[in-house]
């Protein structure tokens, strides 16, 4: 009887531990219950420029103290646009996107459909409807998304008020054939919006639907939508203008802090320290949110260091070198902040890039394959986000999870600082001590019966 009770009690303990660590079908790490993500994209700074030599404290000091600094995060190409496209679709750079698509024109396809890795062969800027994006995946799974673009629509002769397609001579550019000149390539004093920093307008899978005009709009809409959980999209992509994203050292107009012409990392700090706290105060962030502050590419363009890559980044079929003089977009760094799911003041040295980011979002939102969007790997990962061996964000990032969110996973490089001793740092669910007492009680009962 004693042995039977001990066996039964041990089984209860194991069952409880297993229920506190729900495994995925593959046994891999399952991301926590983050339901709202905000991405803020800055421009053209290497890791050292943004997080070592930077004298503007909000980016390099305040935000990392609130969350986790990914110190081995890399861009996927040069110049800007090819990185944005990688983040949204897993599509590798081509020669035109590497040049920021001075002419807004369709990709002229050598092969009309994506290949087995989700890539299309051809040059140009606007991808055919067969190329799907994270936005399409979210909609397919009945989740919401929006893009908020600073200065979009300020000058209706340069771009649309919503969606944000570029204009030339006051007319929306038709990308078919030879397309047309992109009138947003340089900023003006009253409108510093750049279409090349708005990835949604480079995919017919978005452009040819009402979603583009409905979901992509000026930045002020963000602050209205933050008022409630129900009006906050699951996925938000925020593009500051050419001044406040750090792109222009000398701005054509004012930065977000109100100063004329002062750009670079100073302007980026002014933007972040005003916008991020408003997101953090929102009900959706407080409930289950995460903020990602990243950059598109290293500022060391044209140097070997600025064209480094990680994560086995594939070159793709359309350019000999995604980084122009090398395989990638250089080391840039990224910050992730979440009140509920990420330990503040920590770092991770796991290598990531923009393809890893896309895969991480697909996994976080459980965007599995559908009949219309199976993904390049058949598991819902688009383009090179489905590359074999690519690592999405794991326990090195999501390291402040509730017991019900924790799952066993392969050993990964740990984040620092290392947690102190105790149950919280061991990863054991808090249910174990109480079940241990249950086991002890059952054994003591068995012993009393034996003695009697």
> What is the three-state SS of the chain?
CHHHHHHHHHHHHHHHHHHHCCCCCCCCCCCCCCCEEEEEEECCCCHHHHHCCCCCHHHHHHHHHHCEEECCEECCCCCHHHHHHHHHHCCCCCHHHHCCCCEECECEECCCCCCCCCCCCEECCEECCCCCCHHHHHHHCCCCEEEEECCCCCCCCCECCCCCCEEECCEECCCCCCCEECCCCCCCCCCCCCHHHCHHHHEHHHHCCCHHHHHEEECHHHHHHCCCCCCCCCEEEEECCCCCCCCCCEEEEECCCCCEEECHHHHHHHHHHHHHHHHHCCHHHHHHEEEEEEECCCCCCCCCHHHCCCCCCCCCCCCCCCCCCCCCCCECCEEEECCCCCCCCEEECCCEEHHHHHHHHHHHCCCCCCCCCCCCCCCCCCHHHHCCCCCCCCCCCCCCCCHHHCCCCCCCCCCECCCCCCHHHHCCCCHHHHHHHHHHHHHHHHHHHHHC
Task: State the average pLDDT for the chain.
Answer: 87
Say yes or no to pLDDT of 414 above 60: no
For the domain spanning 28-426, the CATH number is 3.40.720.10
Question: What is the average pLDDT across 208-234?
Answer: 98
What was the pLDDT predicted at 15? Answer: 36
Residue 191, pLDDT > 60, answer: yes
What is the reported pLDDT for 430? 29
Q: Per residue in 117-170, pLDDT tens?
A: 999 999 999 999 999 999 999 999 999 999 999 999 999 999 999 999 999 999
Average pLDDT over residues 421-445: 34
* Annotated domain spans of the chain: 1-21+429-452, 28-426
Read off the pLDDT of residues 251-298 as tens digits, 9 standing for 90 and up. Answer: 999 999 999 999 999 999 999 999 999 999 999 999 999 999 999 999
Q: What global pTM score does this model have?
A: 0.84
Question: What percentage of the chain carries pLDDT values higher than 90?
Answer: 81
């Amino acid at each position: 009887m004693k042995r039977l009770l001990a066996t039964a009690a041990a089984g209860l303990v194991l069952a409880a531990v297993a229920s506190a660590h729900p495994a995925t079908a593959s046994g891999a790490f399952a991301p926590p219950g983050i339901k709202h993500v905000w991405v803020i994209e800055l421009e053209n700074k290497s890791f050292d420029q943004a997080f070592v030599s930077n004298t503007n404290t909000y980016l390099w000091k305040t935000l990392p103290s609130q969350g986790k600094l990914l110190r081995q995060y890399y861009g996927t190409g040069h110049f800007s646009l090819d990185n944005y496209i990688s983040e949204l679709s897993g599509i590798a750079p081509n020669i035109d996107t590497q040049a920021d698509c001075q002419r807004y024109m369709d990709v002229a396809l050598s092969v009309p459909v994506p290949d087995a890795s989700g890539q299309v062969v051809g040059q140009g800027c606007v991808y055919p409807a067969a190329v799907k994006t994270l936005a399409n995946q979210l909609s397919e799974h009945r989740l919401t998304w929006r893009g908020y673009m600073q200065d979009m629509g300020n000058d209706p002769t340069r771009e649309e008020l919503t969606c944000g397609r570029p204009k030339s001579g006051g007319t929306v550019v038709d990308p078919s054939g030879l397309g047309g000149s992109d009138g947003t390539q340089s900023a003006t004093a009253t409108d510093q919006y750049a279409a090349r920093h708005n990835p949604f307008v480079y995919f017919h899978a978005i452009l040819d639907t009402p979603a583009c005009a409905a979901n992509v709009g000026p930045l002020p809409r963000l602050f209205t939508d933050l008022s409630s959980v129900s009006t906050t999209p699951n996925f938000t992509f925020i593009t500051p203008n050419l001044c406040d994203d750090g792109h222009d050292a000398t701005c054509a107009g004012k930065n977000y802090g109100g100063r004329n012409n002062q750009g670079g990392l100073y302007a980026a700090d002014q933007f972040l320290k005003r916008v991020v706290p408003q997101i953090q105060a929102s009900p959706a962030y407080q409930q289950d949110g995460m903020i990602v502050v990243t950059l598109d590419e290293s500022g060391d363009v044209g140097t070997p260091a600025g064209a480094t890559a990680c994560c086995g980044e594939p070159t793709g079929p359309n350019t000999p070198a995604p980084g122009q003089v090398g395989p990638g977009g250089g080391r840039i760094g990224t910050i992730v902040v979440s009140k509920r799911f990420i330990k503040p003041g920590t770092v991770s040295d796991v290598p990531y890039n923009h393809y890893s980011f896309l895969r991480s979002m697909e996994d976080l939102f459980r965007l599995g394959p559908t009949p219309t969007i199976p993904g390049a790997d058949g598991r819902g990962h688009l383009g090179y986000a489905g590359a074999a061996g690519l690592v999405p964000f794991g326990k090195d990032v999501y390291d402040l999870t509730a017991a019900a969110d924790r799952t066993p996973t392969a050993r990964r490089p740990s984040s620092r600082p290392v947690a102190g001793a105790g149950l919280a740092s061991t990863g054991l669910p808090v249910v174990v001590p109480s079940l241990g007492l249950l086991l002890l009680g059952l054994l003591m009962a068995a012993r009393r019966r034996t003695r009697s």
